[in-house]
Amino acid sequence: MTAAQRRNVPLDKVNLRLILVSGNRADFLVSPGDSVTSVVRQVFENWPKEWSSETKVNIPDSLRLIYLGRFLKGSLTLSALNLPLGKTTVMHLIVREHVPGEASSNGTTERSKDRQEGSTCDCCVIL
């Protein structure tokens, strides 16, 4: 356990412990009023040295947070998730090369392509 993981979390903050698919993890101290977009930007701008450089993305929009099996949307605030203040909350962070909703080379969006294939869920299962 690192010093950052042992530290006391201020009562007005949330300590997010983000876990990559590789199993690497890092803690980020955030405010409950922060949006998912601002948290992702903070992670992007403060990419941990422990995380391999090959995982680093070129834009923050390639990062996605998963909490309780659901992808979190950009404007959602952490307070809307009722995360406990002064505590550590674990979330998964995934790196996506293609962000849903972006146009692909054939002009269709990933989301519309998924819908055509019958997918109606915007959730994730991690085993």
Residues 75, 39 contacting (CB under 8 angstroms): no
- Which pLDDT band holds residue 4 (cuts at 50, 70, 90)? very low
Residue 63 belongs to domain spanning: 3-99
Q: Is residue 105, in this structure, part of any structural domain at all?
A: no
| Alpha-carbon gap, residue 14 to 124, rounded angstroms | 23
Instruction: Please state, in angstroms and as integers, the Cα–Cα distance from residue 100 to each residue in 75, 110, 113, 114, following that order.
Output: 16, 5, 9, 9
Residue 67 pLDDT greater than 80, yes or no: yes
Q: What is the pTM of this model?
A: 0.72
* Average confidence (pLDDT) over 92-119: 56
Identify the residue with better confidence: 123 or 66: 66
User: Structure tokens of 108?
Assistant: 């269709």
Q: Band the pLDDT of 104: cuts 50, 70, 90.
A: very low
Q: How many domains does the chain have?
A: 1
Domain containing residue 27: CATH number: 3.10.20.90
